[in-house]
């Protein structure tokens, strides 16, 4: 694929008197649009998972899942996907494209230890997803309820029963806040930059305390 270019259409190709707008092309390998992309660190909340971060990035820039999946690394098949685990994805590639501190990205990835075992299926709190949030804590097998809302964590779609593998793949990334099989909503309306609201202070404390505890 050719590198990013920023050009204008030929004069002969446009009708007489028609406005001439620049043509924006995208180098999907670097994910760098010529006019830049939209992302705000203010949209991120404590202990947010990499899936949640990438969903917001997609929604804010209207990017397809297969483009974002390529950010995981040059050797990762975007359709097979990769476990969002520290050491499995290219942190430098993510940091360069999303402009998010490396520390934040590290905390968003799974870090398995003898004390921390993670579910292989996407686990979620419906109340959290209704606000566009998913925590890395939701994936911990020993946590059965959301630290903030105290409601049981779910893995299966309530409509079709599908359990999505927790993989950074095209299938999961192309269906933000929805079932990857039937597209049913996981928890109300999906997140958009225009509807983004900061997490309540009490919820921020609950996630932070549980993460470090």
Is the CB of residue 182 less than 8 Å from the CB of residue 134?
no
- Rg of the chain over Cα atoms, rounded to whole angstroms, equals 19
Residue % of the chain over a pLDDT of 90: 62
Q: Which pLDDT score is estimated for 31?
A: 46
Rounded distance between C-alpha atoms, residue 172 and residue 177, angstroms: 9
Is the CB of residue 179 less than 8 Å from the CB of residue 157?
yes
SS3 74: coil
Mark residue 61 as left, alpha or beta (left: phi above 0; alpha: psi -120 to 50; beta: remaining).
Answer: alpha
Q: What is the DSSP letter of 35?
A: T
Is the CB of residue 133 less than 8 Å from the CB of residue 126?
no
Per-residue pLDDT at 11 exceeds 80 = no
SS3 165: strand
Per-residue pLDDT at 7 exceeds 50 = no
pTM of the full structure: 0.81
Mean of pLDDT values over 152-158: 97
C-alpha angle 8/12/16, rounded to 5°?
Answer: 100
C-alpha angle 24/69/22, rounded to 5°?
Answer: 0
Per-residue pLDDT at 65 exceeds 70 = yes
* Centroid of chain to Cα 199: 17
pLDDT tens for 102-151 read 999 999 999 877 677 999 999 999 999 999 999 999 999 999 999 999 99
């Amino acid at each position: 694929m050719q590198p990013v270019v920023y050009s204008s259409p030929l004069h002969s190709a446009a009708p007489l008197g028609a406005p001439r707008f620049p043509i924006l092309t995208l180098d999907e390998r670097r994910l760098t649009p010529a006019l830049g992309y939209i992302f705000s660190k203010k949209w991120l909340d404590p202990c947010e998972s990499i899936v949640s971060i990438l969903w917001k990035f997609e929604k804010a820039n209207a990017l397809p899942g297969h483009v974002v999946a390529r950010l995981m690394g040059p050797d990762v098949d975007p359709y097979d996907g990769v476990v969002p685990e520290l050491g499995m994805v290219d942190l430098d590639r993510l940091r360069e494209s999303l402009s998010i501190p490396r520390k934040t990205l590290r905390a968003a990835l799974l870090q398995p230890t003898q004390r921390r075992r993670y579910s292989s299926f996407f686990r979620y709190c419906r109340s959290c997803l209704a606000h566009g949030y998913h925590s890395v804590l939701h994936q911990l097998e020993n946590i059965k309820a959301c630290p903030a809302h105290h409601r049981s964590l779910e893995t299966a779609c309530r409509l079709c029963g599908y359990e999505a593998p927790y993989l950074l793949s095209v299938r999961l990334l192309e269906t933000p806040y929805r079932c990857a099989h039937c597209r049913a909503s996981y928890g109300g309306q999906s997140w958009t930059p225009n509807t983004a609201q900061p997490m309540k202070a009490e919820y921020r404390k609950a996630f932070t305390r549980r993460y470090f505890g």
